[in-house]
A and B are shown apart, each in its own frame.
Chain A
Amino acid sequence: MRGQGLRIRTLTTVDSRKWLTVILIAAFGWSLASVKWDSGTLHTGGLSAVGEILGAAFTPQISGGVLKLGIIEAWTTVAYAVAGLTVALVLGAPIGVIASGVLARRRFISVINVGWARLVLAFFRSVHELVWAWIFIVAVGLSPMAAVLAIGIPYAGILGRVFAELLQDVPEEPLDSLRSAGASEWKVFLYGRLPMAMPDMLSYTFYRLECGIRAAAVMSFVGLGGLGHQVQLSLQDLDYGRAWTFLFFLIALVALVDLWSSMVRRRVSA
């Protein structure tokens, strides 16, 4: 009886989903028909400009001066990202542990702690890093501190939330056997939860470092220096080859972080 009810319910969900798809496709088709294609929706010179920019990827500027500048600016970008992520870890990891609620002994206190920790994390990450950057530029001026905090605060929110979930989702059986060996929840955390969640936590932190490098590059558009600033200047000069040189630096940085991350993960993972 129960199985039959379940089947009927799944059938209707699939049906209604199909209908939704049909309606959405129809709406999309209808919206295409309503676009006036001939009145400047597409910029006429746009296609050739795109071709020019893409073509420049094969002729990046590799003069000594540009390369030296690239290295210096790449260093600035990495420094922002690493410092930002450090702030994120110092702030996000402890709040994440509290938000996971795994250390609490008494239910009432646990609910309150989990509640405020989750709220703080949600507040941190609901504001984009660029908006944080504007706020901190107003607060501390056009200084590296603004960029570091602008990356650190929202990333703390994201890291904290993900850490909380990873710490909750480890298998229970090894934890129970630690408890039966006499471990308190703190010791269960140190000897069970943390080691078991660590590979995923590390891997996610490295991924966030990649995102941090990207974010740091964008920070520089707000005037804080770094690779993004150089890309912006080159684009303003219509010097696409030069812009590509700095973009390649950015790609190289992300690739390096990826390599570093897989090296570390191989050592830590089970």
Chain B
Amino acid sequence: MMMPAIRLDGAEAKFGDVVAVVPITLSIATGEKVALLGPSGAGKTTMLRLIGGEVRPSSGSIELHGRMIGDLAPGRELSSLVGMVHQQFDLVPNLSALQNTLAGNLGRWSLGRGLRSLVVPVDRHMAISALQRVGIDDKSAQRTSRLSGGEQQRVAIARVLVQDPSIVLADEPVASLDPARSKEILGALTTDSPDQQKTLVASMHSVEFARDHFDRLIGLRSGSLVFDSPATDVTDAMLDELYRI
């Protein structure tokens, strides 16, 4: 078997005494598209943040492409391996959509290049084509704070497209979008570039979209794994059990 893109080995996340994710062991292969499902508070965001290195596991370990996440240098190395789209987008409101998108390059760029790009955008075509893929290249010059929630979400996705990590993590990437737009964005996120297979892990509230666009569905409830199956094998009974109140 090939080395998995992501490997959790008994990884657990605790905030004080509260266990957000109970020890989980699983592997995700390179190129797999995985959706995390589950009621709110199930630990989907925490699991994404564990994989992205934003939350340290309280026990167990996480490997990305065979390397322990703690051994990866923050900055260029970590950002070329893994990138995350947060649910709150977390863009810089006073910068233009273009500059926020270009910020995906900051792991690669030297400081001087970054400084220069604030005056005259560097690699502009790259950002424009990313904004095109999410359908808002016409808003590139706008100040990000003036964009709607859905537009900001698409800028955040464009940024991760520019960052171009081999593993993309996305927390509710289509929560603020209408169904047609959601399809387009999920398409942009799940389409592999010709030279590289992208691994995608996204938390999803829409079961329907998750089934249509992802290979594998993982059900989380109260921080524990409820199911982990190929999308085609997930039955309505399993979903009812997952979302049971």
List A residues at the B interface (Cβ < 8 Å): 173-174, 176-184, 186-187, 190-192, 195-196, 198-199, 268-270
Contact = CB atoms under 8 A, between A and B. Distances in A.
Given A186-B111, A187-B114, A191-B103, A177 B75 contact: no
B108 A182 contact: yes
Given A180-B79, A180-B83, A270-B93, 13 more contacts: A176-B90, A180-B84, A181-B79, A181-B106, A182-B74, A182-B106, A182-B108, A183-B106, A187-B111, A190-B114, A195-B92, A268-B94, A270-B143
A196 B91 contact: no
A63 B52 CA distance: 73
B contact residues, range: 35 or more
B59 interface: no
Interface string B95-106: 100010001101
B92 A174 contact: yes
14 contacts: A174-B90, A174-B93, A177-B86, A177-B91, A178-B106, A180-B53, A181-B159, A181-B160, A186-B111, A187-B106, A191-B99, A191-B118, A192-B92, A269-B94
Contact of A183 (B80, B94, B107, B115): B107
- Report, nearest first, the 6 A-B pairs whose CB atoms are least far apart: A182-B107, A182-B79, A177-B90, A183-B106, A270-B145, A173-B90
Nearest to A184: B75
A200 B231 CA distance: 50
B78 interface: yes
Contact of A199 (B74, B94, B115): B94
B190 interface: no
Interface of B: 52-54, 74-76, 78-80, 83-84, 86, 88, 90-95, 99, 103-104, 106-109, 111, 114-115, 118, 143, 145, 156, 159-160, 163
A184 B114 CA distance: 11
Contact of A195 (B78, B95, B108): B95
Contacts of B114: 183, 187, 190-191
A174 B144 CA distance: 12
Contacts of A270: 93-94, 143, 145
Contacts of B86: 173, 177
A181 B104 contact: yes
Contacts of A192: 92
B173 to A, nearest CB: 14
Given A181-B159, A182-B78, A174 B106 contact: no
Contacts of B75: 182-184
A166 B92 CA distance: 15
A182 to B, nearest CB: 2
A173 B92 CA distance: 9
A187 B116 CA distance: 12
A190 B110 CA distance: 12
B106 A180 contact: no
B91 A191 contact: no
Contacts of B156: 177
A157 to B, nearest CB: 27
Nearest to A195: B94
Q: Which of B95, B143, B145 has the most CB of A within 10 A?
A: B95
Contacts of A195: 92, 94-95
A186 B111 CA distance: 7
Contacts of B90: 173-174, 176-177
Q: Which of B53, B76, B94 has the most CB of A within 10 A?
A: B94
Contacts of B93: 174, 196, 270
A195 to B, nearest CB: 4
A178 B54 contact: no
Contacts of B111: 184, 186-187, 190
Given A173-B88, A178-B106, A181-B83, A190 B94 contact: no
Nearest to B85: A177
A251 to B, nearest CB: 33
Contacts of B160: 181
Contacts of B84: 177, 180
Contacts of A177: 84, 86, 90-91, 156
A176 B107 CA distance: 13
Contacts of A187: 106, 109, 111, 114
Contacts of B94: 195-196, 198-199, 268-270
A128 B88 CA distance: 46
Contacts of A268: 94
A180 B74 CA distance: 8
Contacts of B53: 180
